Amino acid sequence: MNFYEVLVKIVPHGVFEVPALLCASIIGFKSITIIVRILFSSHPNKKILIDETFKIILLIFIIILLLFLGAVVEWYIT
């Protein structure tokens, strides 16, 4: 295979997998966000935890969707 064939077969599913990896790294930084918001916010701690937990769950669903789309593209294109 030449370089362009390899590129055409790798790039399409990478379009979905790279954003999924970035979303997963965002989840890793959410603990810092929670700590900073609890320390420097006037909102109740329970509300902050509920808000951040909802954001984490939403990110998990986005990651699952993106990885599924990447797998489908890899299955049918590569």
Using 50, 70 and 90 to split pLDDT, how confident is the model at 51?
very high
Q: Is residue 54 part of a domain?
A: yes
pTM of the model: 0.82
Nearest to 11 by CA among 74, 75, 76: 74
Q: Is residue 33 part of a domain?
A: yes
pLDDT at 2: 86
Q: Is residue 19 part of a domain?
A: yes
pLDDT at 29: 93
Q: Is residue 66 part of a domain?
A: yes
Q: Is residue 4 part of a domain?
A: no
Q: Name the average pLDDT for the chain.
A: 90
Q: What is the mean pLDDT of residues 43-72?
A: 94
Using 50, 70 and 90 to split pLDDT, how confident is the model at 24?
very high
CA angle 19–23–25, rounded 5-degree value = 115
The whole domain housing 19 covers 9-77
pLDDT at 11: 84
Burial (CB < 10 A; 0-12, 13-18, 19+), residue 66, is buried
Question: Total structural domains in the chain?
Answer: 1
Token pair, residue 51, equals 């808000």
Q: Is residue 41 part of a domain?
A: yes
Q: Is residue 64 part of a domain?
A: yes
